[in-house]
Chains A and B, each alone.
Chain A
Amino acid sequence: MSDPGPAADPVLGASIIRAVKSAGIATVITVPDITTSDGLLRPISNDGSLRHITVCKEDEGIGISAGLSYAGKRSLILIQNTGFLDSINAIRAVGVEYEMPICLMVGLLGKQAGEAPTEARNYGVRIVEPILDAMGIARALIETENDVALIAPAIEAAYKTSRPTALLIGQSPGAE
């Protein structure tokens, strides 16, 4: 068996935030998620250059993001996989059928680093990728620093093609 080489560094929240900003995101709409709480949500909430909108329930974010996009404003919705599941109808209608650039960043609760989401212990995590695929929504798994390069192109593509995209956070981002 060949040497797999050194493991990539775990993703840092600061790297994700830089990538998101480089894609023109100025507003982040959130419901707290323990996977992204310390490394991502807390620095976002303290970042004066981002407008942070806290919502009571995740599907509110789908409507807010759609409204912002008509105004030419880019936004990101940062939620947990449970919130994604709760928002399926809104994502279906507004994102998929209305072809709106809904950008989701979804923490996968309890998924182990290096484990495929479809092999996670948590059923609510295992079904995320198959649901996204069934809905035709582009997705990328972000859990190492190498994966950060996927973020900005995914957001740019969402706005260029006016289609939803999902960035799945596969392990807790590190705080700097």
Chain B
Amino acid sequence: MMKRNECLEILADQLSDDAIVVAVYTTAFDWIKIRPSPLNYIFTGAMGLASSHALGLAIGMPERRVVVLDGDGSLLMNMGSLVTIAAQAPKNLIHFVAENGTYEANGGHAIPGAGNADFAGFARAAGYASASEFSELDDFQSGLGSLLQAEGPVFAGLKIEPGPPPEMDYRMMHGAQIRDDFRAALK
């Protein structure tokens, strides 16, 4: 088991500055502290939609890397997106799923199938170009570089410990300023 912050710090070290990162809920609030950037797209609106927003961004901007930092509970709300993404086959999309087995932003309750559902298996079966999972930080650190270079869609499940949610500023997440900043950063 890994800690989410440790995974995100490794990712931030290796990710190019012009990559768009679509992140959800507790992961999003951790991520924006580790990698502050107007290219952080944390305004997905409805739970589960991160992978769909990312697909639109990836199709619309094929010259950029689009990284999704999804959650297991979130992805369960939009499992069909795995099939849609695989069918569209964006080469520039990398889909990480933080697997902590809980709805961390909603009280830490267990997700259905916690510990049993095989998310990398779902992605592989849906037709992603590659799908893997990591439960040890050293393995993630050594494997991340090739993941970021690989032709997508790439999926990686990150087995992480559940933890207390970080401080979450929903007013900022849903406010207009962060969307305006994102638009400006794309120009």
Q: Residues of A at under 8 Å CB distance from B?
A: 27, 51, 53-57, 59-73, 75, 89-90, 92-94, 97-99
Beta-carbon contact of A98 and B80 below 8 Å:
no
Beta-carbon contact of B179 and A67 below 8 Å:
no
Seed contacts A56-B83, A63-B52; 14 additional CB < 8 Å A-B pairs: A55-B81, A57-B80, A60-B49, A63-B46, A63-B50, A64-B53, A67-B55, A67-B56, A68-B56, A68-B60, A70-B186, A71-B60, A94-B44, A94-B45
Q: Which residues of B contact A70 (CB under 8 A)?
A: 56-57, 60, 182-183, 186
Q: Pick the most buried of A51, A63, A93, A94: most chain B CB atoms within 10 A of its CB.
A: A63
**Contact check: which of B49, B57, B174 meets A71 at CB < 8 Å?**
B57
Beta-carbon contact of B60 and A73 below 8 Å:
yes
B84 at the A/B interface (Cβ < 8 Å)? yes
Q: Which residues of A contact B83 (CB under 8 A)?
A: 56
**Contact check: which of A56, A71, A97, A99 meets B56 at CB < 8 Å?**
A71
Beta-carbon contact of B81 and A56 below 8 Å:
yes
**Contact check: which of B46, B57, B58, B183 meets A90 at CB < 8 Å?**
B46
Beta-carbon contact of B43 and A98 below 8 Å:
yes
Q: Which residue of B lies closest to A75 (CB)?
A: B56
Total of A-B residue pairs, C-beta within 8 Å: 102
Q: How far is the CA of A27 from the CA of B56 in the complex (A)?
A: 10
Q: Which residue of A lies closest to B186 (CB)?
A: A70
Q: A53-B84, A56-B80 are in contact. Are A89 and B55 (CB under 8 A)?
A: no
Q: Which residues of A contact B61 (CB under 8 A)?
A: 71
Beta-carbon contact of A67 and B52 below 8 Å:
yes
Q: How far is the CA of A65 from the CA of B53 in the complex (A)?
A: 8
Beta-carbon contact of A98 and B46 below 8 Å:
no
Q: Which residues of B contact A66 (CB under 8 A)?
A: 45, 53, 56
Which 5 residue pairs of A and B lie closest in terms of their CB atoms, listed nearest first?
A67-B56, A71-B60, A56-B80, A63-B52, A93-B45
Q: How far is the CA of A66 from the CA of B78 in the complex (A)?
A: 16
Q: Show 17 residue pairs from A and B whose CB-CB distance is below 8 angstroms, ordered by the A residue.
A: A61-B52, A63-B50, A63-B53, A63-B55, A64-B52, A64-B55, A64-B56, A64-B59, A64-B84, A67-B52, A67-B56, A68-B60, A71-B57, A90-B49, A94-B45, A94-B49, A97-B45
B87 at the A/B interface (Cβ < 8 Å)? yes
Q: How far is the CA of A92 from the CA of B61 in the complex (A)?
A: 25
Q: Which residue of A lies closest to B87 (CB)?
A: A54
A interface footprint on B144-187 (CB within 8 Å = 1, 0 otherwise): 00000000000000000000000000000010100100110010
CB distance from B93 to the nearest CB of A (A): 11
Q: Pick the most buried of A54, A68, A72: most chain B CB atoms within 10 A of its CB.
A: A68
B54 at the A/B interface (Cβ < 8 Å)? yes
Q: Pick the most buried of A71, A89, A92: most chain B CB atoms within 10 A of its CB.
A: A71
Beta-carbon contact of A60 and B80 below 8 Å:
yes
Q: How far is the CA of A62 from the CA of B52 in the complex (A)?
A: 8
Q: How far is the CA of A72 from the CA of B56 in the complex (A)?
A: 11
**Contact check: which of B51, B60, B84, B176 meets A72 at CB < 8 Å?**
B60
